[in-house]
Structure 1
Amino acid sequence: MPAMAAVPLIDVRPFAAREIDPQVHLLSTPQDYYGPAVGNVSIIEQSDGYVLVDSGLSAGNGRTIVNYVKARSAKPVKAVVITHWHNDHPQGVSAIRQAWPKVRIIATAATKAGMLGPEVDELVGLEPGPQYVEKVQKLNAEQQATLDKLIADPATTPDRRERARKAKLDFAAFAATYSDTYIVPPAETFDKELLIDDPVAPVKVMFLGRANTAGDAVVWLPRQKIVMSGDIVVWPTPFGFFSYPGEWVQTLGKLKALGYSILIPGHGEPQTDTVYIDQLSGSIEDIRAQVGPLAKAGMPLDEVGRKVDFSRYAAVFGKTERMKTLFKTYWTDPMTENAWKEAKGMPIVQGEGEVTVAKQSDKKR
């Protein structure tokens, strides 16, 4: 993975900052962060300003991004590309637009539709409101109570107890950043490709096909050979709800064909080879190969779930006991349903039934 390099000495919590390339910085949550999941934020410097890829989970995250950019340069943020609608990627935009009112907000039309869907409106609206903050505070209180029980349980191991204590702080810090959070719909959408040109770091924003969502955008820097994949790639355990298995494999193939030197995923560590996306693609193919024939034969979904065996890839994505649980919960269970629907020709509806506040990063607890 790319080495850490010198960055401005400012507080960027919950992120850690690193230089990936002289033109590209990354804000990502560190390994010892145990709060709600927050997507990676890439910061691309061009001659006349910055292009951001995603913006975090809250207005507080957005303010942190603003402070980081301003500590680096007087150049404005000129564009924010939203890779997909999951709430931990677009919800810092309000603070970024407040700092730079002329900023372009860019996404696919499908991502814009997802951002405006009812599955998001439960916790955030098109303008700030106390009802959304109250809901997040209630969820935080529930999370704190759950963690308190885990800490008090004599059966909890010391290392897990310490992680739970850290999680209490991280969840409380998140709740404190949520005021003034609201959805800023993209004003600019594209179908296949959009160029933000620059003599040093041109940015191609592309839609390579449906994968993790209906509108996944990919950001490609052809001169630096760096690609930002959004949640098409999530490391170390992928996230599969409401996805398109067959098309996802094809999209991964197109991503690989770019010939990147560095891939920055939607969450997790940058990748400098294709090993992980090959494993991801292989796991999807394994799920489709097992589930598809059973679905076409008329087997009910619950029976299919009991019959299939995904242990081959559990060794890749489920290396610890906790990750094994999340491999099933976040990956094989939803992807089995997706593959079952795909085989039967049934529609996959984005966000149907999902609780969107902060795909909680209990993967580390």
Structure 2
Amino acid sequence: MTSDVTQRTYMITGPEPELWYRDLISCLQANFGSVVTRAGADPLTVLGAGWRFVHVPGDVRSEEFYYPCPPDESGGVDLGAALAPHHELHSRWWQPADEDDLWREVRETLADDRLVIAAVDNFHLPFRPAYGDVHAAHLVVVYGLDEVRGLVYVSDAMPPAFRGAVPIEAFLRSWGSANPTDVQDAFFSDSRIGRRCLDVRLDAPPPPLTPELLGGFLRADVDAFTTKTTKTTTTAATSARTGLAGFDEFAGELLDRCRGGDATALQELYAFGWGMQAQASLHGELLRRCGREWGDPALAGAGRAVEAVAHAWTGLRITGAHGLGDARAVSADIAHHATVLRGKYASAVDAVGAAARP
């Protein structure tokens, strides 16, 4: 084992990353969870403390790891800050700078004892069920590299969980895939991978979570749901829709597009909704856990109410997925599930607000 990046010899970051997974999350939260754990923090606390509704019209991409993240004034996009609004979690996308040495940045990151999150196409990864069958944009953690034997060490918590070596040639095909349109996956194909990677850093260790600290987080979350705000930047083509009012705008447009026969609206719904569903699931679990540990029934109840939001997303997303062939035909069902989900959001916001009172 060595960290001599100039020799391009065997190196590994140390212990295998933890496989962190929850049923309703995507590879995005799972991979960030592994990195946060590696940094010595509790991923449920970091990724579950915040709860938002954010939709950016025209921004949704056909990737499993899509998450709404309006650019700042400089045009930057920080997925880490979007996933963890109450913690110093930050990330940036990067691509290899030198076509003649694609592994340079990976080598340097691993030598610094940090993990790499890489975008890949499942079609080319031997351990994925879609191997050789279905193209789909996905994320994995890279935790080791052996250029002598031609191996990349990959960790993927999404079922079926995998940690181990992948031939460099297979990984390069996956990492550089065009991810062409695939009729077997209408939601996560047709999105070029482009050797993208995420550099993720937890800039400050989270303080111990106390009822007072969590209460402040919850009050901020409720404010974000109940205060109508419109975030417009010089680089964003449209404004972000936020909170309950933003959900109403999103749902209204979704229904209008379905009634007009726009199947693209249902494709976007599936990818976009996963991020909102995952965040609600993690937030609800955190509140339930804290309510149990602190003997606070109101907090535990608020957690169950937020989890109900997560589960209500399932009806809307799956109805949309099955309705791709005829958006008009499922518009009434879409309206029903959107109404149910809106009610769950309102109830959960009320429950969280009650639990957050000093």
TM-score range, shorter chain: under 0.3
Question: Relative contact order, CA 8 A, sep 6+: which one is greater?
Answer: 2
Provide TM-score, normalisation by structure 1.
Answer: 0.26
Provide TM-score, normalisation by structure 2.
Answer: 0.26
